[in-house]
Amino acid sequence: MVLGFSACTKDFSEINTNPNAPVDVQPEFLLRQIIFDYGEQMSYEGFVAGNLLGQYFTEVDFNLFDRHSLSEPQFGGNPWDFMFTNLRDNQILLNKAQDDETFTVYEGPALILKAFIVSNITDIYGNAPFTDAVSGKGGIITPKYDDQEDIYTGVEGILSLLDQAIVSIDSYTGNAVLDGDIFFNGDLGAWRKFANSLKIKAIMRISDVDLLVNELQQIFDEGDYFTSLDMSARFDFTNDQPNNFRMANLRIGDFSLFVMSETIQEILEAYDDPRIATFFRPTANDATVYAGLLNGPDPSQTSISVGDFSFAGTIFRESTGRLDANFLTSFETLFFLAEAAEKGYINGDAKSLYDEGVKQAFEFWGTEMPIDYLMDGPAAYGQSDPMEQIITQKWLANIINGYEGWIEYRRTGFPALKTISASLNNNLIPVRMPYPQSEAALNGLNFEAAAQRSDNNSINARVWWDVD
């Protein structure tokens, strides 16, 4: 028996190892994969879920999520898994960069991507696994949830990671090329601008609870942030598979579930904004009309003819080669700075920053801006509440990044979103996403502690930076 057992187990690992499967991945492939996978998945998720929360689109059926039953995702509404998967892969990249001087060039970008992904996780969910996250190889398979305040401002928090990234980039003296960089083609200076732009965003995101005026002014004075679209952290989709926008691959019946929201219709028409023809199509029943539907209809109680409403524009389906996956753009950075200037956080010209942000947002969407758009009418700076104008213009331009519009609404109250048609959340607009039930099964004790601190995992429990 002993001899037989020995014979059965001899060379077991060699026999059961696929000789054609990689046992390690080079940093360039990791970097490319992280950027593309995260961008592709978040663009789709932002469209089918974030755009419902932000009231850019309405879903006409299979729409429990649009009715704010957020624990029942259908086409989308559970970004947790791919966020943490990419955070894990990015940690592998960061470890390689810190453990092998041959790969040091990847350290700064990996730190920036870590800060970026973590900021999205905490802005969507609130408290979340962070310091113990993606530490399975170290034996931590049930990570604790960190406070959002610590995730942003802690010793190894978002702002600290960005500072570390800038130091790493500035101190790099090697000759290795940053291969796999589909953002900036290996330009470390552009990555430094990305870090500073993300710092601007992070500082403004938490500005109601922790205002870092001096740091914000210093970044603004130095000017080393995204100022033009060619500096933005984004990559191009293609018209055809495998690198086109995922909405292009949905069955026509599934694609047709998403129509223009009444909220964005009213705002675009109030601005007489030509981007309406980029974002949407005229109705099938009348080619001269754009029509939106109030979010959250109850399909069992309401007869809806989709021919009466506007579908998503061709840029989201037939012509996705015109579309970009947007991590952070110059126009978004300029709008944050315009807000900072308007509030007196920095010594800057709010109108100039706003005007340039609007111009670049039109450029991003390949739409010609009317000559008088910023001179006369509701889009001209100061014609109404400047804060509402700044946030609304940023909201409009972020339609490819729908969670951002919803997050900024939670922070600022702009633009004014509507009470939805058939709410499953007591007519309240959610202010966080619920932790997925997989966490209750796989990380039970830490999930229960986090759920208790968010009013039993309530979608109406405000996160730390979201003050009333």
pLDDT band at 422 (very low <50, low <70, confident <90, very high): very high
Q: How confident is the model at residue 468 (pLDDT cuts 50, 70, 90)?
A: confident
Between residues 367 and 302, the one the model is more confident about: 367
pLDDT band at 22 (very low <50, low <70, confident <90, very high): low
Q: Is the pLDDT of residue 232 over 90?
A: yes
pLDDT of residue 236: 96
Q: What's the mean pLDDT in 362-371? A: 97
Determine contact, residues 390/335, Cβ cutoff 8 Å.
yes
Here the CATH number for the domain that contains residue 111 is 1.25.40.390
Per-residue pLDDT at 7 exceeds 60: no
From 198, 195, 187, 201, select the one nearest 167 (Cα to Cα): 195
State the pLDDT at residue 10: 52
What pLDDT does 290 receive?
Answer: 98
Tokens representing 50 are 């974030």
Question: Structure tokens of 195?
Answer: 């870090």
E strand spans, 257-400: 258-260, 324-328
Task: Establish if 249 belongs to a structural domain.
Answer: no
pLDDT tens sequence across 34-46: 999 999 999 999 9
pLDDT class of 17 with cuts at 50, 70, 90? low
349 domain-assigned = yes
Share of the chain above pLDDT 70, in %: 95
Q: Which two tokens stand for residue 153?
A: 């401002």
When pLDDT is averaged across residues 320-349 and rounded to a whole number, the result is 98
Number of domains comprising the chain: 1
Give the number of other CB atoms < 10 A from CB of residue 39: 21
State the DSSP string of 436-449.
PHHHHHHSHHHHHH
Residue 455: other Cβ atoms inside 10 A: 12
Poorest-pLDDT segment among 51-65, 129-143, 172-186, 264-278? 129-143
What's this model's pTM, rounded to 2 decimal places? 0.94
* pLDDT-derived band at 20, boundaries 50, 70, 90: low
For residue 303, pLDDT over 90 is answered with: no
Residue 194 lies in a domain: yes
pLDDT at 399 over 90: yes
Model confidence at 292, in pLDDT bands (50, 70, 90)?
very high
The answer to whether position 313 is within a domain reads no
> Rounded to 5 degrees, what are φ and ψ at 173?
-125, 5
The pLDDT, as a whole number, for residue 402 is: 84
Please give the Cα distance from 25 to 3 (Å, whole number). Answer: 39
Q: How much is the pLDDT for 74?
A: 82
* pLDDT (0 to 100) of residue 126: 98
- Retrieve residue 196's tokens: 């500073």
For residue 16, tell me if it sits in a domain: no
**Is pLDDT above 60 for 1?**
no
* Contact criterion met (CB below 8 Å) for 90 and 111: no
Cα–Cα distance for residue pair 72/70, rounded to 1 Å: 5
3-state SS, residue 260:
strand
What lies within 8 Å, CB to CB, of 10 at 6+ separation is none
Confidence of residue 23 (pLDDT cuts 50, 70, 90): low
Is 8's pLDDT higher than 70? no
Contacts of 356 (CB under 8 A, 6+ apart): 334
Tens digit of each residue's pLDDT (9 = 90 or more) over 124-143 = 999 999 999 988 788 889 99
When pLDDT is averaged across residues 237-253 and rounded to a whole number, the result is 93
* Contact residues for 114 (Cβ-Cβ < 8 A; gap 6+): 87, 90, 91, 94, 161
3-state helix vs strand vs coil in the chain, percent to 5: 50, 5, 45
Is residue 418 in some structural domain? Answer: yes
For residue 298, tell me if it sits in a domain: no
Residue 353, judged by CB atoms within 10 A of its CB (0-12, 13-18, 19+), counts as buried
Average pLDDT, whole number, for the chain? Answer: 94
**Is 275 among the domain residues?**
no
Average pLDDT score over residue span 253-267: 97
24 phi, psi to nearest 5 deg: -150, 155
Which range marks the domain in which residue 219 is found? 27-240+322-453
Q: What local confidence, expressed as pLDDT, does residue 5 receive?
A: 41
Q: What is the arithmetic mean of pLDDT over 357-375?
A: 97
